[in-house]
Each structure stands twice: as structure tokens, then as C-alpha cells.
Amino acid sequence: MARKESITIQMILDTAFEMTREEGFINVTARKVAAKAGCSTQPIFRVYKNMEELWEAVYGRAIAYFQDYYSLYPRTGQTPFSNLGMAYIAFAREESHLFELLFLSQSAGEGAHVNRKSMYEVLNGEEGNVVREVTAAREAGCTDPGDLFTKIWIFIHGAACMSLTGDYDLSDQETRKLLEDFYMKAR
Amino acid sequence: MARKESITIQMILDTAFEMTREEGFINVTARKVAAKAGCSTQPIFRVYKNMEELWEAVYGRAIAYFQDYYSLYPRTGQTPFSNLGMAYIAFAREESHLFELLFLSQSAGEGAHVNRKSMYEVLNGEEGNVVREVTAAREAGCTDPGDLFTKIWIFIHGAACMSLTGDYDLSDQETRKLLEDFYMKAR
DNA sequence: TCTGCGCCATAACACTTGTTATTTTACCGT
DNA sequence: ACGGTAAAATAACAAGTGTTATGGCGCAGA
């Protein structure tokens, strides 16, 4: 009946996502994606209405990528909080373009941006999680868990953003010590 | 001898800087600057070799702007650290585009980017400054001042970056309390 | 007043962007 | 084998970028 499709939506999304990882969101243009995928720009606009739709798909893929990254990151710290911090900071260092896209760009869509509140909810579903940790700390007569999580988030977000601009030079060991020390004092 | 200059380098730089403040660095193009300055693009390339040179001038102006902002910010806190934090966070909130340019963009030039170390040096020349504060804390038997400044910087930088994406909703009073509480525990 | 130099505006060039029209090409059903 | 049809390639359009060539025009010196 008709010609068989040779460039799938998966190939295009994979290519665009990989380019976002390596070169940053700003460099994901129709022609560059096409060149890297080894085709013309036409298949892109067959499977996506326009570039914005592709960018949104890349954004969704980035969220999933971070969740995988976080869940697979080795838990070497003594507390859920330090493990979260270690993973978050490492993600900013190793996947700076994805970190920028997810946690630093003021996105156009309303509920699209990943922030403190959405992270709190995500972590709530996790086993041995940070939220339970801060709640337990509250019952032990410490700070309000909401406040504590905010303080925690400010700190690890700060370190992560510094690592993004190359302004964070602490080793993993030093970071772990710093985080655990911070948690003990902050709660 | 010749026609008198009507568009000065000051007019162009002023316009470009104001556009960076309001619309962000990315929107500062030759034609847009010219339109806002009420002239053609020609005067721009008379006083600046190319756009990159103008952007560097804007960057320099942004640094000076931040220094003014910081030095004029009211000192309502009880410690130099909390005053630094209040000013830094307010700057990120009120001048988000300038903050992004100065503290979040990985600049091309080597020594151009403002970071923890350069801030440490700037603050060192200040009266009643943060550096002296952390040094005094050390003599009182507390943490190493370098470490303490790093911790301080991580925290205020984190809050500032959150405020950039609208993910920081604490009032000035709450912020001040948070910072002073953090400093007392961290040192 | 005139002349010439240099400022400024207009227009153009070369390039990149998203997007779309047109044409070629390959496949599946007949 | 052959047509039709959808996919893919080619090419084009409109808009926007930095930058440069061209030409008018206004002001200082004569």
C-alpha cells in the first residue's frame, strides 16, 4: 500500500534527548537532530506537530532519566538525606545540561518545572526515604519537617548549582561529611 | 571637520544593559538594541568591534551593578553573614536576569565568572565583613573559616537559585531567621 | 559659503532558525 | 508487474541573526 516507515518516533526522541544531554537544550534544532539521526527534517514533523512538542517530550524523558539516576545511585551515606544530596550533586556535575533543564530553567508550562514541592512528593513514595526521615526527626522533638526539608533542599540545591558552574570542588567524601554534619546540626 | 556624533557609547551600553536586566541576556541583539536606542545598528559597530565586545561590556556593568546593589542593601540582620544572604537572595529575586548572567552562566572567558572565591576576595575588602566574621569564629574555636564560608555560600546560593525559579517563598523575616539560625549552628 | 570628513541610515549578504510545499522513492495490495 | 499511497528527501519561504557595503547628510574648518 505505502512505503514503510524507517525513522521512528523513538529514534528521533532518542537523538534529541542525547543531544540535550551532551550539548544542552539550546542546541536541539530541527536540522541538527535530523543530521544526527541521519535523515531530513521531514520525519520529525511527521511524528511531532512542531519543535515545541519534541522539546516537551525531551523534558519528560529527562524527568524519567533523573528518577532512574537517583534510584540507581549507590547509597553510601548514613542517612537518606545525605544519599539524596550525594545523588543530586553528582547529577548536577555529570549531567549538567539535564540538571539545568530540569531544575534551573523557568519553564513556560505551569506544573512542568521540578521544584522542592514536587520532589517532596516524589521522595514520599520512596522506601527508607527522606520524608520519613524528617518526620521522624520531628517526633524526636526537632524542627518542623516542612522547614527541615526546605533547609535540606536549599543546601543540596546550592551545592548542585555551584557544581554546575564549576564552583564546587569538594570530593565525594568531603561532601558526604558536609551533608551529614549539616543534617545533624540543622534538625 | 566632520559630522558630530549623536549616539554615544554610553547610550548604547545603557540600552543594552537595561535590556539585559529586563529581558535577559539572550534577547540583546544588535537590531533590538538599535531599535530601543532609536538608531540603526551602525553606531553599535562603530563603538564596539562586534556584539561579543558589547556583551562583555554589559557583563562588566552587571558586576558593578551587583556591587552597588550589595553595598546599598539595608543591613537589618544581626550578622554580616545574614546581611550578605539577604542581599544576595533579594538580588536573585529582583534582578533574576542579572543574577543568571553573573552567577549561573558558565562564561566563555576564564576568570570572568563570579564565584565563591572571587566573592570571598571582594568581601574581604569590606568593612564589618563576612570574612572577618568567619575568621573570628575560627579564633573562637569554631570551624575553619574557609570551610565555614563555603558552607555559608552553599546555603545562600541555594536559596538564591531557588528564588530564581520561583521555588522560594519565604518572607524576608523568615529568611533572616533562617540565615541566623543556620550560621549559629554551622560555625 | 563651500568642502570634505566622518557619522548615521539604508540596504544588502551570508547564515541559521522553524515550518511547509513539492518531488522523489519505496513498499504493499492487487 | 504495476499503481497507489505514504514516507522521506529536496527545496523553498519567512523571519531573525551578526556583519558589512553604500550612500546621504550634517557639521567643523577653510
Establish if B177 touches chain A: CB-CB under 8 angstroms: no
Q: Is the CB of A4 under 7 A from strand C?
A: yes
Residues of B in contact with A156 (CB under 8 A): 158
Q: Is the CB of A32 under 7 A from strand C?
A: yes
pLDDT of residue A91: 97
Which string of DSSP letters, residue by residue, matches A38-70? TS-SHHHHHHSSSHHHHHHHHHHHHHHHHHHHH
User: Using the 8-state DSSP alphabet, how is residue A6 labeled?
Assistant: -
| pLDDT higher than threshold 50 for residue B151 | yes
Establish if B156 touches chain A: CB-CB under 8 angstroms: yes
Mean per-residue pLDDT, A64-86: 93
Q: Is the CB of B29 under 7 A from strand D?
A: yes
B17-73 pLDDT per residue, tens:
999 999 999 999 999 999 999 999 999 999 999 999 999 999 999 999 999 999 999
pLDDT of residue B186: 82
Judged by C1' against the alpha carbon of B52, the nearest nucleotide is D18
- Taking the CA of residue A4 and the C1' sugar atom of nucleotide D4, their distance in angstroms comes to 14
From B158, B166, B178, residue closest to A106, measured CB to CB = B166
CA–CA distance, A92 with A98 (Å, rounded to integer): 8
Residue A164: what residue type?
L
Q: Is the CB of B30 under 7 A from strand D?
A: yes
- Taking the CA of residue A3 and the C1' sugar atom of nucleotide C24, their distance in angstroms comes to 12
B79-136 pLDDT per residue, tens:
888 999 999 999 999 999 999 999 998 764 445 567 777 777 777 666 556 666 666 6
3-class DSSP state of B119:
helix
Looking at every residue in chain A, the average pLDDT score rounds to 88
Q: Is the CB of A71 under 7 A from strand D?
A: no
Q: In a 10 Å sphere around its CB, with 0-12 CB exposed, 13-18 middle and 19+ buried, how is residue B5 labelled?
A: exposed
CA–CA distance, A67 with A73 (Å, rounded to integer): 10
For testing contact with chain B, the best of A116, A167, A177 (most B CBs within 10 A)? A167
CA–CA distance, B55 with A45 (Å, rounded to integer): 35
pLDDT of residue B52: 98
Per-residue confidence at A136, pLDDT binned at 50, 70, 90?
A: low
Nearest Cα to Cα of residue A65 among A118, A10, A14, A120: A14
CB B43 within 8 A of CB B30: no
User: Using the 8-state DSSP alphabet, how is residue B60 labeled?
Assistant: H
Q: Would the pTM of this model clear 0.85, i.e. be above it?
A: yes
Residue A49 burial (CB count, 10 A): 9
CB A15 within 8 A of CB A61: no
Residues of B in contact with A168 (CB under 8 A): 154
Q: Is the CB of A7 under 7 A from strand D?
A: yes
CA–CA distance, B184 with B102 (Å, rounded to integer): 29
State the distance between the two ends of chain B, measured CA to CA, in whole angstroms: 67
From A159, A164, A165, residue closest to B154, measured CB to CB = A159
φ, ψ (nearest 5 deg) of residue B27: -95, 5
Residue A66: what residue type?
F
Q: Which residues in chain B (105-134) have CB-CB distances under 8 A to chain A?
A: 105-106, 113, 115-117
CB B44 within 8 A of CB B33: yes
By residue count, chain A amounts to 187
Establish if B178 touches chain A: CB-CB under 8 angstroms: yes
- The angle at the Cα of B65, spanning B94 to B168, to the nearest 5 degrees, equals 25
| pLDDT higher than threshold 60 for residue A127 | no
Establish if A186 touches chain B: CB-CB under 8 angstroms: yes
Q: Where are the alpha helices (DSSP H) in chain B?
A: 9-23, 30-37, 42-47, 51-72, 80-94, 96-99, 116-124, 130-139, 145-164, 172-186
CB A101 within 8 A of CB A135: no
Poorest-confidence range of A38-52, A79-93, A110-124, B171-185?
A: A110-124
Find and give the residue nearest to D5, measured CA to C1'. Answer: A2
Give the Å distances, CA to CA, from A30 to A8, A17, A63. 15, 13, 22
Per-residue confidence at A131, pLDDT binned at 50, 70, 90?
A: low
pLDDT of residue A140: 61
CB A91 within 8 A of CB A83: no
The residue behind cell 524528617 is A134
